[in-house]
Structure 1
Amino acid sequence: MASATGYGPEPRSYVVPAGLRAPFEARAWREFLYLMLSLPMAIVSFTYAVTMLALGVGLLITFLGVPVLGAALAGCRALGVVERARARALLRLDVADPEPVRIRNRKDGRGGPIAWVGGMLRSGASWRHVLYAVLSLPWAVFGFGVAITVWACGWSMLTYPLWHWVFPSYTDTPGIQLYGDGNGDGFYLDSAFEVAMTCAVGALIVLASPWIYRLLTQVDRLLVSGLLGPSVLASRVVELESDRGTVVDTAAADLRRIERDLHDGAQARLVALAMDLGLAKEKLREDPEAAAKMVDEAHGEVKLALQELRDLARGIHPAILTDRGLGPALSALAARCAVPVNVVVDLPERPAPAIEGIAYFTVSELLQNVSKHSRASRAGVDVWRSDGRIMLQVTDDGQGGAGTATGSGLAGLTERLDAVDGILVVDSPPGGPTTITAELPWRS
């Protein structure tokens, strides 16, 4: 069921408080199962890693040591695949695959076994998998011990009223013995009050168990994401490669747009102008009045061609932005908008020219959206600096419903800002108003 605010489904309402539901929810049992499976998985990983590494190091005096070390790292990476899948299924932790092994090909362009082993030994991700295999065992032993103790004690004490009869019926004791001297004398949990108190303590342990499991698995989450996922440097390289592709695609699209505008606009008008002037030249002697009329029409075409060239140049980089800065440029931009726009620019100095240009064209595209799609009666543009970042905010009182869905103009704008470490945040509930905030690095 959709919520009244339009932001997604309504939250479910529960009669039982969260603290009482937690021991019976799927998350607690998934995390408990993860802790139970961690010990056998850690034993396998630790045994394999230590055995293969010791064997490889011992054989380094021969040629066999190097491929054995490569196999050890490859096996640890394979075990890492299983661990990521287990974390994804039981902890709902989605960790991306680490960066692939980079193999240096031979001169003939083909990689052989030696190149594969060399790439494996040079891979930092492979050695992080080995470190995970070594560190996971002591933590898995601790987590398994705590989890199984909490689970067993909690549920056995909670259900003690159901099975305390076993002691007097099948043993020589009246109940659970807390302490004694070994001769039958001691303190037993056998009275109704003691049985009830045991059940109450068990209930408290059961209620606390989900939070204990969650705390234990939080360390597992850190280990898996930190050692079995891509490194920060590799993630940054992938991000920069993606941003570079976005910048290249954007530049190519802009060049195609400029070429299309020149071909379909000013160029076509200038070709027609040349033809009209040629006809006027031919009629100059025969019909001077008609020739003068054609020259006058050609003069009008020249003015239109100049105006189109000015608009095209303004679309590439407006002169007012270069000469006077972002404030006057945005004011001129707002004057051409279809709705009244209030512009407030509070910048202590001018940012880097590249950032200034991106900020200008960001506001330009957002105001175009306001004119075309928002059905707004007024809009506002605010620009300020905050902690080394330039902030842009465009608001309107239109119908709302704007979003960054794939294929929309805002999605393309988001990609462009992301290419320079910028951010675009859209707040546009159905019915409006719409507030779009962009954040760019200052880089002055």
Structure 2
Amino acid sequence: MDEANMSQTAVAADRDLLDIIFGPATERQTYLNLLYLLLSFPLGIAYFVFLTTGLSLGTGLLVVFVGVPILIGVLFACLGLGAFERRMASSMLHLSIPSPPVLVSGPGLSAKLKALFGDATTWKSFFYLLLKFPFGVAVFVVLVTAFSVSLALILAPLTYSTLSMDFGLWRVDSKDEATIWCLIGVVLLLVSFHLVNGLAFVWGRFAQMMLGPDHATGN
């Protein structure tokens, strides 16, 4: 390999490294991932309230048989909400999540209920919606903390003289110290963007597993 080719290879390697480090901060998909993750918080709360209220009400009213249609309605709602989550994950995370096969049942109400309760999609959707709550809370806390701290550090050169900035035993009381913390904030911000993509990747794969068809059983 001559010197020119070696130089081009080195430049390409440097560009690849820079793209790996700074790419997430400039990619549109990162911000779609961030929006999706932040929406998990209010959606997770809504799903949790709906499921716990529906299950509690339905179970409590079983003795007067009113609870049966309530519980059935909750399960049907899980299928609809699961379809909504599948479309949202597909569009925002750019994932391929095929729809599970439509419930097949014989004629009559009992056959339809048997198909509803016996179909894996029903229960996978139920547990997905239930787990969205702890995931949404955890992700919201982690991301809000990460980005808030990052931005606070980046703004340190502008705010250290008017706001008290203490980091453990280290008090920022000079411009040089504020500049150091600003650089740390930039690094933390880049790490936060990588964290966004990592969390979106993990939850996206979970969504594919829970909301897509079961390849093992064809369901």
Question: What band does the TM-score fall into relative to the shorter chain?
Answer: 0.7 to 0.9
User: TM-score, normalised to structure 2's length?
Assistant: 0.82
More strand as a share of residues: 1
Residue matched to 2:208: 225
Q: Distance in 2 between matches of 1:121 and 1:102?
A: 12
CA contact (8 A) 2:155 2:182 kept: yes
Structure 2, unaligned runs of 5 or more: 1-14
Residue matched to 1:149: 145
Q: Distance in 1 between matches of 2:205 and 2:172?
A: 42
State the Cα distance separating 1:178 from its structure 2 match: 3.0
Counterpart check, 1:211 vs 2:194: yes
Residue matched to 2:80: 78
Q: 2:95 corresponds to which letter in structure 1?
A: L
Q: 2:87 corresponds to which letter in structure 1?
A: A
Distance 1:104 1:65, change over 3 A: farther
Counterpart mapping for 1:312-323 below 5 A: none
Distance 1:190 1:160, change over 3 A: same
Q: Which residue among 177, 191, 194 is the counterpart of 1:194?
A: 177
Secondary structure, counterpart of 2:61 in structure 1:
helix
Q: Distance in 2 between matches of 1:219 and 1:32?
A: 13
Secondary structure, counterpart of 2:171 in structure 1:
strand
Secondary structure, counterpart of 1:232 in structure 2:
coil
Distance 1:21 1:153, change over 3 A: same
Distance 1:118 1:59, change over 3 A: farther
Residue matched to 2:43: 41
Q: Distance in 1 between matches of 2:104 and 2:59?
A: 23
Q: Distance in 2 between matches of 1:142 and 1:70?
A: 30
In the TM superposition, structure 1's runs of 4+ consecutive aligned residues that sit over 6 Å from their partners are none
User: TM-score, normalised to structure 1's length?
Assistant: 0.43
Distance 1:115 1:58, change over 3 A: farther
Q: 1:226 corresponds to which letter in structure 2?
A: M
Q: Distance in 2 between matches of 1:51 and 1:104?
A: 31
Q: Distance in 2 between matches of 1:218 and 1:21?
A: 16
Counterpart check, 1:176 vs 2:165: yes
Q: Which has the higher contact order (CA 8 A, sep 6+)?
A: 2
Kindly tell me the number of residue pairs found equivalent between the two proteins.
204
State the Cα distance separating 1:210 from its structure 2 match: 2.1
Q: Which residue among 123, 126, 129 is the counterpart of 2:122?
A: 126
CA contact (8 A) 2:47 2:129 kept: yes
Residue matched to 2:64: 62
Residue matched to 2:133: 137
Secondary structure, counterpart of 1:231 in structure 2:
coil
CA contact (8 A) 1:66 1:117 kept: no
Cα-to-partner distance string for 1:335-386 (whole Å, 9 max, x where unaligned)? xxxxxxxxxxxxxxxxxxxxxxxxxxxxxxxxxxxxxxxxxxxxxxxxxxxx
Secondary structure, counterpart of 2:216 in structure 1:
helix
CA contact (8 A) 2:40 2:135 kept: no
Counterpart mapping for 1:45-444 below 5 A: 45-106=47-108, 112=109, 114-167=110-163, 175-179=164-168, 187-235=170-218
CA contact (8 A) 1:99 1:234 kept: no
Counterpart check, 1:22 vs 2:24: yes
More helix as a share of residues: 2
Cα-to-partner distance string for 1:275-310 (whole Å, 9 max, x where unaligned)? xxxxxxxxxxxxxxxxxxxxxxxxxxxxxxxxxxxx
Q: 2:196 corresponds to which letter in structure 1?
A: Y
Cα-to-partner distance string for 1:244-281 (whole Å, 9 max, x where unaligned)? xxxxxxxxxxxxxxxxxxxxxxxxxxxxxxxxxxxxxx
Q: 1:145 corresponds to which letter in structure 2?
A: V
Q: 1:205 corresponds to which letter in structure 2?
A: L
CA contact (8 A) 1:53 1:69 kept: yes
State the Cα distance separating 1:233 from its structure 2 match: 3.4
Q: Distance in 1 between matches of 2:194 and 2:170?
A: 32
CA contact (8 A) 1:30 1:90 kept: yes
CA contact (8 A) 1:102 1:123 kept: no
